[in-house]
Structure 1
């Protein structure tokens, strides 16, 4: 497959690029600053394209890819609306899309448990509303939306799985998952497209 990674220079984005190459896929790295994409010389060539979601007139076309996985977040230099703009651009591309959102936003507001939600309000705060709006735009475009719990460093979990949001049991303690595991599950979904238009929760 030919997979585009939006936000390929970020912590999850870099893992998506590496894991996609390891699986034998061709990768298109979509980044605002191309110089930040580091690809080992021993790997296949990665097609790096400059892509700023806040500049739709210069956003590259995606007609040549089979799927897009998005790991963009709200950066410190981003103004309001960046996530919604990104979701809209991918929805308009009519390409199989996997969108990384956050557990505790929108429909999953209480799904992580009371402690988790309190932490989310303190850590994310006003961004929750934009995350929820972007998720809605992505879903309307047919994307699979991942409501990932708190991300941590760590190895890939062999027991990784996706749970539909409606089937998630509310945990007592704040849930966590490694970025490597989330990246692997996003690529699994990009390959199959089994949950298009749905919200799913990655678990390990």
Structure 2
């Protein structure tokens, strides 16, 4: 299996790459700054690195990099700086998802490619009409106005829901929604739910990045896990916060 990972130099993306490599899978990573990947990882014989800014790639190059991959995983996110949150590109995640999907379609794969998007528990799955309080909706509305990355996360997941949908012959997808991200050194017990079991605004849970990476790797490599969650937006919490 060959997996294309974008956002591989980020805190969760690095862990996903490491997890996939440890399972014996080939990883192709598009990275703007390869130096952010530890040398021990960069030199792994199953890892190939494409040194490029993802959104600067031509359509032909994007199609070439996606070709031969059985799965695509996006751990892209905005840097928590003024430029990262308010500068260009405002739709980093959404544009990446759209262009990667278009590249998959251009390749016309015989077997559907698994697309796994790292999203956020603060984004509701509008396919399920998930109930939220008036206060929650009000705060989210304010966040949409003040923090462009939140809208980007919403639109990226909406692209998979509405533009790809649940019956596409070339792409199957899952959008993973962790709650407040924390760092842990090893995988611990965690649980995935179809919808949030608590308010991401007023009663947030916690999800370790390494657990997110582990769950994404399971989705990519385990048929039973994929069958359970494809076309859905599971919310993942560390045990004790679900």
Encode CA deviations 1:65-101: one digit per residue, 9 max, x unaligned.
1111110012316421211111102222152110001
- CA distance, structure 1, for counterparts of residue 30 and residue 76 of structure 2: 10
Distance in 2 separating the partners of 1:179 and 1:69: 15
User: Which residue, 100, 125, 129 being the options, matches 1:90?
Assistant: 100
- Residue 177 of structure 2 contacts residue 236 of structure 2 at CA under 8 Å; is this kept in 1? yes
Equivalent position of 1:69 in the other structure: 73
- Measure, in 2, the Cα distance between the counterparts of 1:199 and 1:51: 29
Cα 1:90/1:24, change in 2 over 3 Å: same
Match of 1:81 in 2: 91
Partner of 2:167: none
The equivalent position to 1:169 in structure 2, one of 197, 210, 224, is: 197
2:155: which partner in 1? 133
- Deviation string, structure 1 residues 41-63 (Cα, Å, up to 9, x no partner): 77434100134332241435211
The answer to whether the aligner puts 1:203 opposite 2:221 as a matched pair is no
Counterpart CA distance in 1 for 2:27 and 2:232 is 25
Q: How many equivalent pairs are there? A: 201
Deviation at 1:103, TM superposition (A): 1.1
Whichever of the two has the greater Rg, that structure is: 2
What is the TM-score when the length of structure 1 is the normalising length? 0.83
Higher helix share: 2
Unaligned runs of at least 5 residues, structure 1: none
Q: Is the Cα contact below 8 Å between 1:66 and 1:96 reproduced in 2?
A: yes
Q: Deviations over 1:101-159 (max 9, x none)?
A: 111124378769968x959939x733222211111113343320011111111144442
What corresponds to 1:25 in structure 2? 25
The equivalent residue for 1:48 is: 49
- TM-score under structure 2 length normalisation: 0.71
Question: Which runs of 5 or more residues in structure 2 are unaligned?
Answer: 106-112, 165-171
